[in-house]
């Protein structure tokens, strides 16, 4: 089983609909992230959470909200989807310990492809 | 502010040829640097990372990268391309003591027989 699991993997929806993308992890990491990938733009950070009570905006948070339900779960919501939110969304986790073996590394889910018509 | 520039959105090589994917970074403090690979319909997988140990970093699948502070570069190389190397490659930078990564725009590698 994957360490970072995203659901759904694919979703087609209509403009104005509310959409939730879910992420769960079994790595035991405190830190979780949501990125968006668009062709030619790379990955851009939407929101990140360093623990259940610590949630922060990334560079493109407008139109999105998040919820950290537990250490292992981090969901991304689009309250009213619009076509330019059509993208591939990635959840990631990290284990931040200075000089630890995984220092700085992000572990990614397989992505959720969202199409807004 | 940190940033990453990947030169060339597409690179094509013949099987067996040298692979060179370019990455330059901007950071006001010594950075951590990463290369990730994304195969079709998959998430990102770490290829290698530089976190202040040896400047020549060896990764998986025969890839390596060299941190050159004077050139602010972290180019990815592989001596001999294989068909299975066809993928998109992302360079990323983060400040030390933080794991907020800033990604480049990616380079798609095509390998021809």
Among candidate residues B24, B32, B33, B19, the one with its CA nearest the CA of residue B6: B24
Please report the pLDDT score of residue B44 as a whole number: 92
Residue, of A59 and A5, whose pLDDT is higher: A5
Calculate what percentage of chain A has a pLDDT beyond 70.
Answer: 91
Between CA A64 and CA A80 the distance in angstroms is 9
Predicted confidence band of residue A83 (pLDDT cuts 50, 70, 90): very high
Mean of pLDDT over chain A: 91
> Which residues of chain A have a Cβ shorter than 8 Å from any chain B Cβ?
4, 31, 35, 40-45, 48, 90, 92, 94, 96, 98, 103-106, 108-111
Nearest to A92 by CA among B24, B46, B112: B46
Look at residue A6 and tell me whether its pLDDT is greater than 90: yes
Span A25-48, average pLDDT: 92
User: Using 50, 70 and 90 to split pLDDT, how confident is the model at A75?
Assistant: very high
Q: Residue B101: its pLDDT value, please?
A: 84
B97 contacts in chain A (CB < 8 Å): 98
Please give the pLDDT value at position A97. 63
- The whole-angstrom distance between A3's CA and the closest CA on chain B is 12
Contact flag A111-B42 (C-beta cutoff 8 Å): yes
What stretches in chain B show pLDDT beneath 70? 95-99
- Helix (H, G, I), strand (E, B), or coil: what is residue B62? helix
pLDDT of B96: 62
Q: What are phi and psi for residue A85, nearest 5 degrees?
A: -95, 5
What is the predicted pLDDT for the residue at A39? 87
Specify the higher pLDDT residue, A29 or A115.
A115
Pairing outcome for strands B87-95 and B107-112: antiparallel
Q: State the pLDDT confidence band at A1, using cuts at 50, 70 and 90.
A: low
What residues contact residue B41 under an 8 Å CB cut-off, 6+ apart? A110
């Amino acid at each position: 089983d994957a360490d970072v699991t995203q659901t759904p993997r694919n979703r087609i929806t209509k403009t104005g609909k509310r959409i939730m993308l879910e992420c769960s992890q079994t790595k035991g990491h405190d830190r979780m992230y949501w990125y968006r990938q668009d062709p030619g733009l790379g990955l851009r950070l939407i929101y990140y959470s360093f623990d259940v009570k610590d949630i922060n905006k990334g560079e493109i948070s407008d139109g999105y909200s998040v919820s950290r339900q537990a250490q292992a779960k981090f969901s991304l919501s689009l309250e009213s989807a619009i076509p330019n939110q059509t993208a591939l969304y990635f959840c990631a986790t990290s284990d931040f310990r200075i000089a630890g073996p995984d220092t700085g590394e992000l572990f990614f889910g397989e992505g959720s492809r969202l199409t807004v018509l | 502010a940190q940033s990453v520039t990947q030169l060339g959105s597409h690179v094509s090589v013949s099987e067996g040829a040298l692979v060179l994917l370019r990455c330059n970074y901007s950071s006001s403090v010594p950075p951590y640097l990463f290369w990730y690979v994304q195969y079709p319909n998959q998430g990102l997988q770490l290829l290698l990372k530089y976190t202040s140990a040896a400047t020549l970093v060896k990764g998986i699948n025969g890839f390596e990268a060299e941190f050159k502070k004077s050139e602010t570069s972290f180019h990815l190389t592989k001596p001999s391309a294989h068909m299975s190397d066809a993928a998109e490659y992302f360079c990323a930078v983060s400040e030390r003591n933080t794991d907020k990564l800033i990604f480049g725009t990616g380079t798609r590698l095509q390998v021809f027989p």
